[in-house]
Structure 1
Amino acid sequence: MPALLPSGRPDALLRRIHVLAIGGAHQFAHILPVASELERRQPGSVTFFVCSEEEAAIAQDQVRDLGGPCPAVEVMRLPGIAVLLPRQLHKAARLIVWAGRLCDAAAILCAERTSTMLGRLRGDCPPILHIPHGAGDRAVGFEKRFTLFDHVMVAGRKDRDRLLASGFVEPEACTVTGPIKLATILSSPRPRPPLFDNPRPTIFYNPHFSKKHSSIAVFGRKLIEAVVQDGRYNLVVAPHVRLARRWSARERREWEALAVPGRVVVDLGSARCNNMSYTLGADLYVGDVSSQVYEFLAHPRPCLFVDARGTDWQESEDYAMWHFGEVIAPDADPVAALDRAFANHGAYLAWQRERMAYTIDGISWAPDGTPTFKGRNAVCEAADQVERYAGLAVSDGWASAA
């Protein structure tokens, strides 16, 4: 029989770390590298929880690409009656059904905030640590549920400063580790083939899923038609993956039918939407409020933003990204705006780099514009924090990762 701690928990639980990925595969890249690093340090101790067999396969494939050890991957299946619930309630349902299993650990790591329910569901909930999935500016990224985390790890000083100013996080409970996803993908030796087999500049249109902010309904088709008619640009239309999830099969087919071979890609949720293929491969970013603009600006390039609602944005922290390029109304001429964005990028370059350095800790640029993260290892720093909260001796992650 395993030895018991004063709390009554078996000693073996001290070595268990549960990584919750209930928000979808688009969040995996923000926490899976940390889960793999923890598994390397504490073999057999880490379980990565997902919502479907498909997501389990995606997680295993991503770890294989990372080249590190794969933690155990467990699918959080719902009982038959729970499956009948509306889709938006499935995350909460899984947490309720699986609460006992999830809390059977020394620490929990997650990339979304619904998992804070566990602290209210179970009196024996272990420490919950959080890595936000992105470094955007919307107010929803700085909200009251942050008070329910034991520790938050952010990509840079921007997010830490704003969380502390909100009063939802205490200074000792928030660490700047650097960007997990961005640093991991940029350090990968895997080749990145061009998005199109032609020399035309490529536009990446990346509307958000938020009905309040998204520009797709008032600008998306107009942009596609204008780019096709003009003929000088390639176009990738890849909205936030949550946008197309709420569309009917008919709506998806209608949007996908707008693709033009060799000229326009319409991607409603492939792996390339999540692995930075488009943010790294495009020449100009068009969007509204998605945090992917900060991934795009790892290599500072022209940006264009669509204000779908006539927002009073100039002095708002929630729209700080809109200072990276021109902001246009939906009735603007798309091609003329694209032309201006390329021509006027020099006016925005210094601010793009300054804001990126504030948002993404440790980033700098070589003379040729290549981003580097000298002196920082975001994955190891995040793993260190998880080990501390799990009561484990912190491994020499820096040395072993070098």
Structure 2
Amino acid sequence: MPSRNVHSRIHVLAIGGAHQFGHIVPVACELARRHPGQVRLFVSAEAEVAAAMAYAGQGAAPEIVVMRLPAVTALLPSSMHKFVRLTLWAKRLRDAAVILCAERTSTMLKRLPGDCPPILHIPHGAGDRAVGFEPRFRLFDHVMLAGRKDRDRLVEAGFVRAQDCTVTGPIKLAAVLDNAQARPPLFDNARPTILYNPHFSKKLSSIEAFGRGLIAAVAADGRYNLVVAPHVRLAKRWSAAKRRAWEALAIPGQVTVDLGSPRCNDMTYTLGADLYVGDVSSQVYEFLVRPRPCLFVDAKGVDWQDSEDYAMWHFGEVIAPDADPVAAIERAFAAHGDYVQQQRERMTYTIDGIAWLADGTPTFGTRCPVREAADTVERFAGLRTKAIAAIA
């Protein structure tokens, strides 16, 4: 445990995009409630301030700092902006008792010259892909994880020592469910709603091979609604013309095409849909807070059956991109009972503390992942003992 005694500031880095905010901002707000004026939340752009505050919930909010860059930075490829931002802001970012982040590029703060406080990490999501388990985890002083699955894979791979990680439970899921309010249905009709949630990676995504065919088949069949909501990073790489072409496929009252609105990140679609169709996105674990039918598209001919990287594909049928979408959807609804036990077992392994009431409502009981994560940050900042003493 670090014995650092610099000052009591806590710096929270939310510089990986708005899709990561739900995994880290609730903890920043809980820390701000406990330690007013001592928590700073760093974001990349002015546009992200409102998105960050959308996760503030009720109570205190941290000071928000926009990490602006010199105008000349615009001449650099966008892929370099995060590295430049971290380098130019390193002195201020490291002027804290502890740093908390949701992405792993921030580990470069450890490698830059000068002193660096402990860096703690909350991964954004709990998916199965191997990219979620990689050597940069060794650079964190402590990692807080959604469940035993992630802990076991990281420890077995040698990327994290058992004593350097804590299973707090899922920050985003717990925060959303804790503040859940009745949401309007995704469509104003009684048709079942399908969520199509392809991944952003060209090497893994099914959208080009399957997406248009799915939209056309659902529209022609007429029995289902469809939300096409890919990972928000996917469309960021597209030209304006390509975005317009995909958005033009929407059909009012039946097909929604959402390429990156806040509803893609706040679980509006994963909570509101009746069937999940996807490939390798970790959002399937958000969908399965209430076990429901799933369907997966193998667009790359993967040998997946015994791979932990594709464990989620045991939650439903796996089809080829040229399969009949409507027939597969019908089978998914009809056969869901064959997969419910597997879905529940994997969820309890992946999402620590989750359980279901008799009516299927998800619950974490007395567990509060946000508070548990905040407790861990306090300990590394040297504030935990003070907080306990203040309560006493």
Q: Same fold (TM over 0.5)?
A: yes
8 Å Cα contact 1:362/1:375 also seen in 2: no
Q: Which amino acid aligns with 1:22?
A: I
Distance 1:197 1:247 in 2: 30
What does 1:65-214 align with in structure 2 at a 5 Å threshold? 66-214=57-205
Pairing 1:227–2:218 present: yes
Q: Which residue of 1 aligns with 2:242?
A: 251
Q: 2:38 aligns with which of 37, 40, 45?
A: 45
What does 1:350-365 align with in structure 2 at a 5 Å threshold? 350-365=341-356
1:57 offset after TM fit, Å?
Answer: 1.9
Q: Which residue of 2 aligns with 1:215?
A: 206
Distance 1:211 1:108 in 2: 32
Q: Which amino acid aligns with 2:51?
A: I
Distance 2:154 2:29 in 1: 27
Q: Which residue of 2 aligns with 1:3?
A: none
Q: Which residue of 1 aligns with 2:12?
A: 19
1:133 offset after TM fit, Å?
Answer: 0.3
Q: Which amino acid aligns with 2:54?
A: D
Cα-to-partner distance string for 1:76-113 (whole Å, 9 max, x where unaligned): 11111122211111111110111011000000000000
Pairing 1:28–2:1 present: no
Q: Which residue of 2 aligns with 1:54?
A: 47
1:396 offset after TM fit, Å?
Answer: 5.3
Distance 2:53 2:314 in 1: 38
Distance 1:202 1:393 in 2: 46
* Percentage of identical aligned residues: 71
Distance 2:11 2:159 in 1: 24
Distance 2:206 2:59 in 1: 39
Pairing 1:274–2:268 present: no
Pairing 1:298–2:289 present: yes
1:122 offset after TM fit, Å?
Answer: 3.6
Cα-to-partner distance string for 1:261-317 (whole Å, 9 max, x where unaligned): 000000001010000000000000000000000000000000000001100000000
Q: Which residue of 2 aligns with 1:240?
A: 231
Change in CA separation of 1:342 and 1:383 when aligned onto 2, cut-off 3 Å = same
Distance 1:97 1:299 in 2: 44
Q: Which amino acid aligns with 1:262?
A: G
Change in CA separation of 1:189 and 1:139 when aligned onto 2, cut-off 3 Å = closer
In structure 2, the gaps of 5 or more residues are none
Q: CA RMSD in A?
A: 1.5
TM-score by length of 1: 0.94
What does 1:236-385 align with in structure 2 at a 5 Å threshold? 236-385=227-376
Distance 1:85 1:192 in 2: 42
Secondary structure of 1:109 counterpart: strand
Q: How many residues were matched structurally?
A: 388
